[in-house]
Amino acid sequence: MKTLKFLFLEDSSTDLELIQRELKRAGVEYIPLHVQDREEYLKAIIDEKPDFIFSDYSLPNFDGLSALTIAKEQCPTTPFIFVSGTYGEEAAIQTLTRGATDYVLKDRLVKLVPALRRAIREIEEHKALRRAEQEKFEIEEQLRQSQKVEAMGFLAGAMAHEINNPIMAIIDYAQLISKGDMDIDKAQKIASKIKQEGERISVMVKDLLRFARQEKGTFEPVSVFALISRARSISEQRLKMSRIQLDLDVHTDLPSVMCKEGQILQVLLNLINNGTDALNQRYPEYDENKRMIISAKPEEIGGKSWVRITVEDFGSGIPPEIGKSIFNTFFTTKGADKGTGLGLSVSLGIVKEHGGFLSFESAPMEYTRFFLDLPAV
């Protein structure tokens, strides 16, 4: 463990000696840095980066409150302890309010070491909390990526099947051209069809890759209509293979939402995949009621503007006894080869991070509606 640097802002050599003697008596090891005015103090903070600051309250050419203000600007996490002889109750309240860690009277230096140890303990607790938060964040990111890979698996399988059709058409067209016995007009028409099929494949792949790429982690204003359109584009092939009709009901005057686009897209795709599974469960074959509706409209909640996106399906529904658990991590009613139980728990975490809400209502064998509420820009 490194030896701590203690910066002492003190104009009295006698008082400084008494303070340091008290620290020495308690067996505290440190590197002392002594300053007496503003210039020396500021230079020491910038150049030496002390671990603790001990400051007198009143000095001839400087004052403790100004020193505290500078410390909060230059090194806001460094503990700052006032050690002063002129320190009334009002001054004590004022310094603590402004961010001082503690205060000790010079005629009661026996309290100095306990104040120091409290500050050290708080630092250690703060570091432990930061580590725990970082570990939690890393676990959540792993879960999100795992769920994203799961969603991509469903989508990529359907997309690969669909991409095969335009690829076969391109091969057939190319074979016709390679024979070399067609006139220029016909060749141009076939070349145009090849271009159309190629662009169709390009859009499919780009949409999937856009979803698959790692998040940059930045919140940006995003069009809700663009989000829903992209989710429909990526899901289109799976919906088509399942013979599900998807209808959109999106208000044209929707405000944008501030979000991480890839993460909200992940939520929408998860809700669409769940709706697809519910519809396939209720209607294994084609049925005119085998449909899904995605709607979006502006809302006002608590005097603020929001956007509500609703993903509704008319599938098997969610029984009340199951509805209590659907947001729990790893909870799933699907087989081991059909899902990991991460989708809704990860989606809920994403939505909460965006300051929004994710809720649902359902009637078994009738419908399920998921409501995604996001604050508008």
Q: Is the same domain home to 93 and 222?
A: no
62: pLDDT strictly greater than 80: yes
Of 21 and 334, the one with more pLDDT: 21
Domain assignment of residue 254, yes or no? yes
Q: What does the pLDDT look like over 347-362, one tens digit per residue? A: 888 899 899 999 999 9
Q: What mean pLDDT is reported for the chain? A: 85
Q: Is the same domain home to 348 and 230?
A: yes
- Average pLDDT for residues 255-271, to the nearest whole number? 89
Q: Is the same domain home to 222 and 87?
A: no
Q: What does the pLDDT look like over 307-322, one tens digit per residue? A: 999 999 999 999 988 8
- CATH label of the domain that carries residue 223: 3.30.565.10
Check residue 184 and give its pLDDT. Answer: 81
Domain assignment of residue 146, yes or no? no
12: pLDDT strictly greater than 90: yes
Q: Is the same domain home to 102 and 222?
A: no
Other residues' Cβ atoms within 10 Å of the Cβ of residue 132: 10
- Average pLDDT for residues 12-28, to the nearest whole number? 94
Q: Is the same domain home to 233 and 359?
A: yes
Last residue of a domain, one of 107, 123, 145: 107
Domain assignment of residue 367, yes or no? yes
177: pLDDT strictly greater than 70: yes
Question: Is 46 exposed, middle or buried, given 0-12, 13-18 or 19+ CB atoms closer than 10 A?
Answer: exposed
Domain assignment of residue 148, yes or no? no
Domain assignment of residue 142, yes or no? no
Q: Is the same domain home to 89 and 224?
A: no
Last residue of a domain, one of 85, 107, 129: 107
Among 273, 243, 234, 238, smallest CA distance to 158 is for 238
141: pLDDT strictly greater than 80: no
- DSSP tag of 140: H
Lowest mean pLDDT among 12-21, 174-183, 347-356: 174-183
Q: Is the same domain home to 96 and 231?
A: no
- Average pLDDT for residues 275-294, to the nearest whole number? 94
Domain assignment of residue 177, yes or no? no
Last residue of a domain, one of 82, 107, 132: 107
Q: Is the same domain home to 100 and 223?
A: no
Of 268 and 166, the one with more pLDDT: 268
Q: Is the same domain home to 90 and 222?
A: no
Most confidently modeled of 82-96, 131-145, 258-272?
A: 258-272
Check residue 336 and give its pLDDT. Answer: 47
Q: Are the beta carbons of 272 and 292 closer than 8 angstroms?
A: yes
- What is the number of structural domains in the chain? 2
Check residue 162 and give its pLDDT. Answer: 59
Domain assignment of residue 163, yes or no? no
pTM, to two decimals:
0.54
Q: Are the beta carbons of 7 and 35 closer than 8 angstroms?
A: yes
The pLDDT confidence band at residue 91, using thresholds 50, 70 and 90, is confident
Q: Is the same domain home to 98 and 222?
A: no
Q: Which domain holds residue 49?
A: 4-107
Domain assignment of residue 325, yes or no? yes
- CATH label of the domain that carries residue 42: 3.40.50.2300
Check residue 208 and give its pLDDT. Answer: 63
- DSSP tag of 255: P
